[in-house]
Structure 1
């Protein structure tokens, strides 16, 4: 059995028991240390330990203890507030980081737009005069066709007119040429023929049916094209160049199709 104060082993002859809680203490660990004889025996019969004696006398807690507890509660409350504040600061920091990323993305987009705008501004756009000139030129060519690979045996215009009539008869029997003339200086190769029709609508009919010449045993090598302006020919050349570039890059089945008279690249 151990002493309730020092927790060391005690002997029965060297101990005293609290009259109230019955806990055992060394005499040396009690308030009656130093007493002997009958006085010691008397005190042992009614001795109270420090805790029980304090309870008997009604000893209260120190007012400082209450104040300390209040301070601890206040500190704990502030700790909770600081924790909430830290969490909010973390959230704000995260939002600021996201805002920084978004700002960087927006800056990149603005830079791209500025570069595009600069590129557009630096690109020379056609003037009003050149646009008007192009419109007039297209109107002047609206009733013309260019015929390639048409035989030119002796350069006789009557023979050319007869040839064109025969070619048109293969395509449609109701259209006749108004004017037929050769383009350029005569060489060893047949010069292209410029054929003017009576109505612009006749051009559409001829072009719509020109594929029939491919199966003709006589006129299979003849090709028919609209009378294009220089701008239109440049557009056509650019489209063909882009098709070749894309084919060289690995794309396939690319063809050029005209949409409302404008050449476009599509996949067949």
Structure 2
């Protein structure tokens, strides 16, 4: 029995290479009329995958028929390409985000390295200034550096009148009040941690220097302001 091709209506004999449409027409289709590649034809024949010819998958004017049209290898191929494209974009975005994060961390490490390098150079300069000939041991050098840091928190005031009170506590409170008053004139609202008179002999006609000790270096006043206070 001779059948006709569902696409070109040409004759199809038992020896004619063809594919069976599993769509609405259920007709045999010439291989040349299928519109498939050799790979797709081989896959369909070997796996017995459902396949519909062009006429069966053409869009219909009826909404119900378009919603029930069968999948073809071409439509599956397009769907796979779309999904792979979306997946590739997601992977690229993820990798880009991670690379940006790594770059930020590397920049932060680079900044930390620069800061540490500067601090190391500062320590070297301090050691060289304290021990230019290398004659002092490390403990002496470190003690000297610590002493310098402590002195940076100190301030010496001159010509600050001393209290005539006999009680040490009253005199210390008077010195603290006088110091705070002088600091406030410069717009400095920091209260010292401690004030100490330098020297043992108290002479009210010539006040002893007043040592002002701050809690930290950031609270200490620079030397130019010290000169204005005296």
TM-score bracket for this pair, using the shorter chain length: 0.3 to 0.5
Larger radius of gyration: 1
**TM-score by structure 2 length?**
0.35
